[in-house]
Amino acid sequence: MTVPAIKGVGTSLFGKQPDLHPSELVWRAVDEAMTRAGVTAGELDAVYVGTVFGAPGVAQRALHAMGIVGVPVITVENACASGTTALHEASEAVRLDRWACVLAVGIEKMTDQFAGAIHPESTDIEGRSGLALPSLYAMAATRYQHAFGVTDAELAMVAEKNHGHARHNDRAQHRTPHTVEEILASRMIADPLTLLQCCPIADGAAAAIVGPHEPGAREVVIRSSVLRSGQLWDHRSEHVWGFELIRDTARRAFEAAGIGPADLDVVECHDAFTIGEIVTTEALGLAPEGEGVGLLRDRHTHLGGPQPVNPSGGLLSRGHPLGATGLAQVAEVVWQLLGEAGGRQHPGATLGLVETMGGGVAGVDGNACAIAVLERLG
């Protein structure tokens, strides 16, 4: 089998971009990725596209103007993990020698469809009761606080860190640092989560070119890529929603890569809400259960610490255009591993991880979790 590698990545800016058509966002991301990879439209064998709310044909509408025609274009929807699902499928296609040059792209134009939180699905029990995702994460935060004694201020430390990181990311939607006091004083959304502890919706696109690993090339190898959907969720678990799915996916990803969580230099994880990052770092094995806040207190996951988490600013600051988010995370880790992250660079990073959790379907422990372990060789 072939070892897959990321040859180039690209993204648009993220945020409210009312004057830009989704195609224009795709053009910016794909053009950057193809330029960095040194490939042309005619060299692409296939395209995987992640989107959640995109119109039918959103990919073909954008790609034909770039001369990307006549190849398979496969659109996937996996909630927030749609973009990372596109990368996973591109990686598997190369690994299994199905294709040799594959484009993965994520796109979402959200700010003209939603004023705030995404509308809950009325056919789900949670949706019928009005429980949008901020409410579900708030309940997870409350349960976690009860179990482990974490304070509101400690939850807010996640947002303080990630908003601080984002000041170095000129593509992020929000780049203003905030103190814990400012975060707690922002408008309450779903107790205990205030506005600055919730990710903003955004418009954006991100892309990656995947092909066979070439020794000596300036590229990032995909050591492992694992995609899982959640188990049946019967509310008897001792963990908060999503923990088992992330934990089990991570275990498989680490096993396939032949590494452990302590080996990672940098992580981009799904911090849609502050509690999400704390639970995820524990599920990934960066900290024991109930001790994720210690990573923040010790500045272990800050830039300058041993294992920076969300150096891009994460979803909390970069914004969360659902279909593009996973590939935006991938782009950040690739830039980190190639030493191209500018003011947010973690020195000497060679091994990174991307984790994206898609949720929202009643009855399962998350729609999907995608985890990729990435490495710069040499």
CA angle 210, 214, 215 (to 5 degrees): 140
> Is-catalytic flag, 199?
no
Structure tokens that stand for 10 in this block: 């690209």
The length of the chain is: 378
Whether omega before 192 lies within 30 degrees of 0, making that bond cis, reads: yes
For residues 337 and 350, the answer to whether their CB atoms sit within 8 Å is yes
Q: How far apart are CA 61 and CA 188, in angstroms?
A: 40
369 has catalytic annotation = no
Contact 278, 293 (CB under 8 A): yes
Catalytic residue among 80, 101, 198, 199: 80
How many H-runs (helices) and E-runs (strands) does the chain carry?
12, 11
Residue 227: enclosing H or E segment and its boundaries? strand 220-228
Among 231, 263, 224, 192, smallest CA distance to 355 is for 224
The DSSP symbol for 118 reads: P
Which residues are CB-contacts of 322 (< 8 A; sequence separation ≥ 6)? 51, 52, 53, 79, 80, 82, 108, 110
Catalytic residue of the set 174, 239, 302, 320: 320
Residues catalogued as catalytic = 80, 320
